[in-house]
Amino acid sequence: MSTDTFQPIASRPPPESQLGWKAWVRRSFFDGWGNTALTVFTLIALLLVVPPLVQWAVIYAIPDADNDACRAAHGIGACWGVVAEKGRLILFGRFPYEEQWRASLASLALVVLLVLSCLRALWRPALVVAWIGVLSLFFVLMRGGVFGLSPVETARWGGLPLTLLLSTVSLVLAFPLSILLALGRQSHLPAIRTLCVLFIELVRGVPLISVLFMASFILPLFMPQGTTIDVLARVLIGMTLFAAAYLAEVIRGGLQAVPKGQLEAAQSLGLSYWQTQRMIVLPQALRLVVPAMVNTFIGVFKDTSLVTIVSLYDLTGAVQLALGDADWRKFFLEGQLFVAALYFVACFAMSRYSVWLEQHLNTGTRRQ
């Protein structure tokens, strides 16, 4: 046994040159000739672009809806007044002016419902009732004709409520359909499998715009003689079919990722096909593909802008409509940027939510 005791070396802080923000700056920006050149080049580019941008967007901008002031400042300062002036047209499309309170109430209700649905704590059967209730309220408020509300035809629905309606309803309808399609694609029955594959590949192989055209022009031909189908309904059907095909592929990826042992265990327990799918396979499969599903939701939300091409004025279409006004047409960029910002906020929030959801749903799959 040795007589001298062991002297453990205490932890010391790293030398000055390694620590702190100065070292980080040096490592990140000035690390070698190439990196330094890149930093300098980027800084120069930013200096050329950012100050004029800030000047235009903020410093010399006109916040009031003053057409003359805006014209005077054209090219020098942004005219955010166009948002104030045309805001209601952009947000609600061609919905009658006096009834727009109904549209905003309906949108608010739907947004609140969506946000609340994101909270895990509220995932209970009562939520389904809430969904049915709010969607019915939405339709009643927008359509009118009852409870003393004046009727507003669906062709006049537009702006934010239309975007929300299209995305929400088409996704809600597409979801069960996509599960059936995904299961059908995995099926052992050749006829079912072929039909599902054909549908999915057909819808995924063509642009959304042609699906919408098909829905707009061909669906009326399918109707029995004498009946017509609502414009909005046609578009909804088209979007639903489109979303269902894409979601089906996402869910199929999840189904394939569920280990085969799960199926074997369920079969050995005596569960039927539908019981197995409902209680064992689908919960696991869906949990696995949450990020991909939310990506698809974001995609559908953005794709609702295409209804502009079939003359339904959602948020994107409404701003084009609003800028038809010759007086305010010069300030199209500010209007478009406003709508772009709305989309950005919504989509960005959804993608952040997807990240959060993925982390929280996986707490059951990792050892604590």
Partner 1 sequence: MVQQPDSLSVSSRPPPKQRVWSWRSQAFRGTVYQIVALAVLLAAAAYLLHNTFANMRMRGIQSGFSFILQPAGFGIGESLLPFDSSNSYLYAYVVALSNTLRVALLGIVLATVLGTVIGIGRLSRNALVSTLCGAYVEITRNVPLLLQLFIWYFILTESLPPIEEAWQANGFFFSKNGLQFPLPVAELGAHLSTLGGTALGLVAAWWYARQARLRRESTGAMWPVWWPSVALVVGLTVLGWMAGGMHTEWDIPERTELNVVGGGSVTPEYLTVLLGLTIYTAGYIAEVVRAGIQSVPYGQHEAAASLGLSRAQELRLVLLPQALRVIIPPITSQYLNLTKNSSLAVAVGYPDLVSISSTSLNQTGRAIECIALVMACYLTMSLLTSAFMNFYNARARLKDR
Partner 2 sequence: MNPQDPIIEFRCVNKWYGEFHVLRDIDLQVARGERIVICGPSGSGKSTLIRCINRLEEHQQGELVVDGKALSDDVKVVEAVRREVGMVFQQFNLFPHLTVLENLTLSPMWVGRIPKAEAEERAMQQLQRVRIAEQAHKYPLQLSGGQQQRVAIARALCLTPKIMLFDEPTSALDPEMINEVLDVMIELAGQGITMICVTHEMGFARSVADRVIFMDQGQIVEQNAPEAFFNNPQRERTRDFLSKILAH
- Residue 34 binding partner 2, by CB under 8 A: no
Q: Is 29 in the site for partner 1 (CB under 8 A)?
A: yes
Q: Which of partner 2, partner 1, none does 336 bind, CB closer than 5 to 8 A by kind?
A: partner 1
* Interface pattern 13-32 for partner 2 (x via CB under 8 A): xxx--xx-------------
- Compare residues 151 and 190 and give the one whose CB is closer to partner 1: 190
Q: Which two tokens stand for residue 121?
A: 């704590």
Quote the CA–CA distance of 347 and 173 in Å, as a whole number. 21
Sign for the pseudo-dihedral over CA of 103, 104, 108, 109: negative
Q: Select the residue interacting with partner 1 from 109, 137, 149, 209 (CB under 8 A).
A: 209
- The residue whose two tokens read 């009732």 is 129
**Binder of residue 348, out of partner 2, partner 1, none (CB less than 5 to 8 A by kind):** partner 1
The one-letter amino acid code at 250 reads: V
Site for partner 1 in 103-142 (CB under 8 A): none
Helix locations, 206-314, DSSP H:
208-222, 231-257, 260-268, 273-275, 282-288, 290-303
State which of positions 326-355 bind partner 1 (CB under 8 A).
329-330, 332-333, 336-337, 339-340, 343-344, 347-348, 351
Nearer to partner 1 (CB atom), residue 45 or residue 269:
45
Longest Cα–Cα distance of the chain, Å, equals 107
> Given the rule CB under 8 A, which of 26-34, 57-65, 128-136, 139-147 is the region that contacts partner 1?
26-34
Supply the minimum distance, in Å, between the C-beta of residue 30 and partner 2: 14
Question: Residue 314's closest CA among 346, 352, 349, 354?
Answer: 346
Minimum distance from residue 34 beta carbon to partner 2 (Å): 14
Short-list 168, 157, 166, CA closest to 99: 157
In the bound state with partner 1, the residue whose beta carbon lies nearer, of 134 and 300, is 300
**Minimum distance from CB of 260 to partner 2 (Å)?**
21
205 lines the binding site for partner 2 (CB under 8 A): no
Q: Rounded to an integer, what distance in angstroms lies between the CA atom of residue 356 and that of residue 349?
A: 11
Output 14 or 224, the one with its CB closest to partner 2.
14
Give the contacts of 38 (CB within 8 A, at least 6 positions apart): none
Reference 308, options 320, 298, 297; nearest CA is 320
Q: Would you tell me which residues interact with partner 2 (CB under 8 A)?
A: 1-2, 6, 8-9, 11-15, 18-19
